[in-house]
Amino acid sequence: MHTHHLASILAAVLGGLIALPGGVPVAYGSTRVLQESAQSAEQSANSASVRLNQKGLTLAASTTAAIAVCASDPLQAKQLAALANFEGWLQSANASGYVGEVGWPAGNDAVAWNALANKWYAAADMDQLWVTAWSAGEWWGKYSLQPYVVAAGKSSVSARGSQAAVLTNHPSTPTVLRGVNSSGGEFGTGAGFSNTTPGVLHTNYHYDSTATFQYLATQGVRVVRLPFRWERLQPRLDSALNIAAVAALKDAVLRANQAGLSVILDMQNFGRYVTSTGTRLIGTSALPNAAFADFWSRFASAFAGVPGVAGFDLMNEPHDLASVGVWQQASQQALTAVRAAGSKTLILVEGYDWAGDHNWSRVEPTPWIVDPAANFRYEAHQYFDVDWSGRYADSYATDVAAAQAQGYRANC
């Protein structure tokens, strides 16, 4: 990045024209619940900007990539600043990053949302961030955040949603993986779900078909993030994995690989494990970090040598544990267990508080992972509505007005 860009961006941040957001922890992915008000988000954004000034954080190339992309409206400015928050943190930590979920809707405002997404991906391109968009899958029905959909009369993903044009514009490169989430393995976890009643494959949950994987490959997708549930793979803590559940997940990985896709295996448990007597939280006596590490040790051994595995995503969107430190300790122990099992597979470590990139530097001021294999990436998630929730409850124009009221401005 040229030095005149750096100078202008630094002036904008310190002058208050661009605030690097901290703020609202929200649930992304399959459960999306707003946790704080927009007012507290703005207060966090302001304090993040102050901390930037006080600590003298260098706005290096990865920060300028997101902010230097021209924002045509206040909402674009807000979402680019959120990505910059994560990018700048990675740069200061000398770490690699991955955005495991980024999603935006089809519908009446699809053109405007796509324009924002193209700006966002342009910044991600400049920083060579790995990205998997949220989300494809054969069981989504009319869900509006699907870049690839099941065509009428079909049972597999076989058509392009409006978002697909953005993904085509920003493809994988030899060193940057781009793709989509392939949802279904995390489904069926409503009332009655537990480790003893985990549901039935292809009735309550599902891994996509070979036809879907083949179609995604024809669209330039190179990696899928494939969710699963801990309770299905290990029905009893600190015990052997379920042979049938492991076989079903391996089958999905092998089929995806045969279609030309790499696979990131993603535990979609939010820092929890559901039993017949209640939900247990990581870092408690009922679900100690050692149990989490035990799972990942067994899982790494089970998937050793399986072709197509691109990485292990330790935990989707951990939140509302005793503290951020609990998650940091648990994720380090899990990574250490994977390495002790002899695996050098890439590890994806999500941030605490729903992994939101907008509040990354507030929640995790400093890096915490030590990897003897030097093969891990920190993972963030982002949705473009004004509260980062992924619900998209309002129109694009309404969200633009809200972003403007929070102090964001277009810069082109």
pLDDT digits (tens, 9 = 90+) for 10-45: 233 323 333 333 332 223 333 332 233 233 333 333
Q: How confident is the model at residue 66 (pLDDT cuts 50, 70, 90)?
A: low
Calculate helix-pair angle for 210-218, 243-258, nearest 10 degrees: 30
User: Does 330 score more than 70 pLDDT?
Assistant: yes
Kindly state the tokens that stand for 129.
């961030």
Q: 156 with 138: CB under 8 angstroms?
A: yes
User: Does 175 score more than 60 pLDDT?
Assistant: yes
Q: What average pLDDT does range 112-137 have in this prediction?
A: 97
What distance in Å separates the CA atoms of residue 338 and residue 304, rounded to the nearest whole number? 10
Kindly state the tokens that stand for 211.
């036809």
Cα–Cα separations (whole angstroms), residue 329 to 4, 17, 325, 379: 41, 37, 6, 16
Q: How confident is the model at residue 195 (pLDDT cuts 50, 70, 90)?
A: very high
Q: What pTM value is reported for the model?
A: 0.86
Least confident stretch, 18-22, 266-270, 300-304, 384-388: 18-22
User: Does 62 score more than 90 pLDDT?
Assistant: no
CA 135 to chain centre: 11
DSSP string computed for 386-400: TTS-S---S-HHHHH
User: Does 283 score more than 60 pLDDT?
Assistant: yes
Which pLDDT score is estimated for 204? 98
What distance in Å separates the CA atoms of residue 274 and residue 278, rounded to the nearest whole number? 6
Q: What percent of the chain has pLDDT over 70?
A: 84
Choose among 64, 20, 77: nearest CA to 45.
Answer: 20
CA dihedral 351, 66, 127, 397 (to 10 degrees): 80
What distance in Å separates the CA atoms of residue 230 and residue 363, rounded to the nearest whole number? 25
What distance in Å separates the CA atoms of residue 138 and residue 208, rounded to the nearest whole number? 6
Which pLDDT score is estimated for 68? 73
Q: 382 with 358: CB under 8 angstroms?
A: yes
Q: What average pLDDT does range 66-84 have in this prediction?
A: 92
What distance in Å separates the CA atoms of residue 252 and residue 186, rounded to the nearest whole number? 14
Q: What percent of the chain has pLDDT over 90?
A: 83
Helix (H), strand (E) at residue 382 = strand 376-383
Strand partners, 313: 266, 348
Residue type, 190: G
User: Does 239 score more than 90 pLDDT?
Assistant: yes
Give per-residue pLDDT as tens, 339-372. 999 999 999 999 999 999 999 999 999 999 999 9
What distance in Å separates the CA atoms of residue 402 and residue 85, rounded to the nearest whole number? 20
The pairing of strands 178-182 and 223-228 is: parallel
Residue type, 118: N
Choose among 364, 356, 391, 376: nearest CA to 101.
Answer: 356
User: Does 111 score more than 60 pLDDT?
Assistant: yes
Q: How confident is the model at residue 275 (pLDDT cuts 50, 70, 90)?
A: very high
List domains and CATH numbers for the chain.
Answer: 3-405 (3.20.20.80)
User: Does 315 score more than 80 pLDDT?
Assistant: yes
